[in-house]
Amino acid sequence: MSQLRYCQGPRCHTYDTKDRKKGPKDNKRNETRRRSSFYYLDGNCCSMQCMYDWFNVYGSRALDHFGRTTQPKVLTQDNAWRKRYDWNRDGNDRHYVYNHLTEEQRPITEQQYDNENTITHDGRLAI
Ligand SMILES: [Zn+2]
């Protein structure tokens, strides 16, 4: 059983919906949503609105904390690799890595296709 967590949207409790209402008739209040899972902000917010609210309050500080992009990132043939496969009706799917600048293709195994380390997070071939 997964643990219940609160939506991280700083204004979640201010949105007036039935599921946020708590308390007895004479002491009604709205509370932050609590769920076992959320779809937004990498599983931390209950709605797109709460995600935007979070970013409006904390986004600039998060960028300063983790480091802003201060120089252009560059795509070259060294980091233009993507995994692809061609689905085949007879079950012989063709897995390969594809360089979308040079259009070079290199075959890989299904295991390499499923392995998230075959291509680095920034698009470099690691095999
Ligand atoms: Zn929320």
Residue 55 tokens read as: 């970013």
Q: Give the CA distances from residue 41 to residues 8, 45, 56, 100, 102, in Å, rounded to whole numbers and listed in that order.
A: 9, 6, 13, 29, 35
pLDDT in tens, 21-58: 999 989 999 999 999 999 999 999 999 999 999 999 99
Q: Give the residue-averaged pLDDT of 103-119.
A: 95
Q: How far is the CA of 12 from the centre of ligand 1 (A)?
A: 4
Return all residues near 127 (Cβ < 8 A) that are at least 6 apart.
97, 108, 112, 118
pTM tops 0.75, yes or no:
no
Q: How far is the CA of 43 from the centre of ligand 1 (A)?
A: 11
Q: Is the dihedral of CA 34, 40, 44, 45 positive or negative?
A: negative
Q: How far is the CA of 54 from the centre of ligand 1 (A)?
A: 9
- What pLDDT does 1 receive? 54
